[in-house]
Amino acid sequence: MGEDVAARAYSASMAERVELWWARRQFSKDAEIPYPVGRYREAWAPFPALIRQYHPELNAGIVLSQIPPAADVLLLWQCEAGHKFAATPDEQRNRPGRERRRSAWCPECADLARPARALPMRQVVTPPGSPVPAAIASPIERTVLRPRKPRPKLNLCPKTPDVPVGEPFHSECAPKPASAIEARLRADLFELVAVTEGLNAVRVARPFFDHVEVWPDILLPELRVAVEYDSTGRHGLEHVGKREAADRRKDRALRAAKWEVIRIRTGKLEPLGPYDLQLATWNRRGLERLLDTVRGIRGRLLVDPYLT
């Protein structure tokens, strides 16, 4: 079954099968093992779901940490439900979209989670004596998939106040904080930094999805610094793949509005910006590193007067 899946995917893709890719690397590098085990362990560490789906026995015995994430190679994956499917590293790392379900990592599980809607075919009436098309000659009931609707024109939320770009404010559209660690981080930070609390949005110049505002986890308004707390979440779906691209876009929007961003990256997530911090957990030492980073951005003379 797995070989059939790989063959079908390979026929529709320019990516090499893993055996051919490995053999070519052996030739080009003149080495029996062109990439040692563990070479790309850190690059794959933020994707625990993919580590579970990858099995060396399905991929010529090659270990996942031997495969560069950007390699144009077709790998065979198996989800926890037993579905086997072929995909390149780039396809698999960018598979999660807006869904927050474990099934988002497997195309078959994703299809089962949102089955295609079907409608009965409209009855076709033909004049007497006219030929009946072969497609409707059979009395068997048929269904057709609903045609995909064109993407509607972006309608911006009218609730964003008419304030200058870069102005912080309290937005009623901002999501409620859902992480206990994020709440602890906020409490620890505001205990030491005497800035305006209660603001949760920044006006930006260009639309971010359907708003002209973004919602950082924590705002230090007087210092124009936004703090984000990033983890991979329960199913390893957060801040990876397409969501990482959205994070980068959000950071660009903030910097264009004359703000700076510090992301606290946990769960082996790599830094996205020059001031991001990689932490195993949030503690007092992490708080000190965060304050030192804020000083590095705005300068000690500006930051220290706000410290209590």
Residue 69 clears pLDDT 60, i.e. is over it: yes
Question: Domain for residue 145, yes or no?
Answer: no
Q: Higher confidence at residue 303 or residue 5?
A: 303
Q: What 3 state SS string does the chain have?
A: CHHHHHHHHHHCCCCEEHHHHHHHHHHHHCCCCCCCCCCCHHHHCCCHHHHHHECHHHCCCCCHHHCCCCCCEEEEEECCCCCEEEECHHHHHCCCCCCCCHHHHCHHHHHHHCCCCEEECCCCCCCCCCCCCHHHHCCCCCEEECCCCCCCCCCCCCCCCCCCCCCEECCCCCCCCCCHHHHHHHHHHHHHECCCCCCCEEEEEEEECCEEEECCCEEEHHHCEEEEEECCCCCCCCCCCHHHHHHHHHHHHHHHCCCEEEEEECCCCCCCCCCCEECCCCCHHHHHHHHHHHHHHHCHHHHHHHEC
Are 80 and 206 contained in the same domain?
A: no
Question: How high is the pLDDT of residue 155?
Answer: 84
Domain boundary among 83, 110, 137: 110
Question: How high is the pLDDT of residue 5?
Answer: 47
Question: How high is the pLDDT of residue 143?
Answer: 45
pLDDT digits (tens, 9 = 90+) for 28-50: 999 999 999 999 998 898 888 88
Are 178 and 68 contained in the same domain?
A: no
pLDDT digits (tens, 9 = 90+) for 96-110: 666 666 677 788 887
Domain boundary among 79, 94, 110: 110
Are 93 and 209 contained in the same domain?
A: no
Are 96 and 172 contained in the same domain?
A: no
Question: How high is the pLDDT of residue 4?
Answer: 46
pLDDT digits (tens, 9 = 90+) for 126-185: 566 655 555 445 444 444 555 666 666 668 999 999 999 999 999 999 998 878 899 999
pLDDT digits (tens, 9 = 90+) for 44-67: 988 888 898 999 999 999 999 999
Residue 2 clears pLDDT 60, i.e. is over it: no
Question: How high is the pLDDT of residue 8?
Answer: 44
pLDDT digits (tens, 9 = 90+) for 257-291: 999 999 999 988 889 999 999 999 899 999 999 99
Question: Domain for residue 188, yes or no?
Answer: yes
Provide the number of structural domains found in the chain.
2
* CATH number of the domain residue 301 falls in: 3.40.960
Question: Domain for residue 208, yes or no?
Answer: yes
Domain boundary among 77, 110, 143: 110
Q: Higher confidence at residue 92 or residue 14?
A: 92
Are 80 and 178 contained in the same domain?
A: no
Question: Domain for residue 78, yes or no?
Answer: yes
Residue 10 clears pLDDT 50, i.e. is over it: no
Instruction: Determine the structural domain holding residue 49 and report its residue range.
Output: 2-110
Are 212 and 278 contained in the same domain?
A: yes
Are 189 and 294 contained in the same domain?
A: yes
Question: Domain for residue 154, yes or no?
Answer: no
Question: Domain for residue 147, yes or no?
Answer: no
Are 180 and 71 contained in the same domain?
A: no
Are 208 and 280 contained in the same domain?
A: yes
Average pLDDT over residues 85-100: 80
Are 71 and 191 contained in the same domain?
A: no
Question: Domain for residue 103, yes or no?
Answer: yes
pLDDT digits (tens, 9 = 90+) for 223-261: 999 999 998 877 777 788 888 889 999 999 999 999 999
Residue 218 clears pLDDT 70, i.e. is over it: yes
Are 284 and 172 contained in the same domain?
A: yes
Are 212 and 281 contained in the same domain?
A: yes
Please indicate, yes or no, whether the overall pTM of this predicted structure exceeds 0.75: no
Question: Domain for residue 155, yes or no?
Answer: no
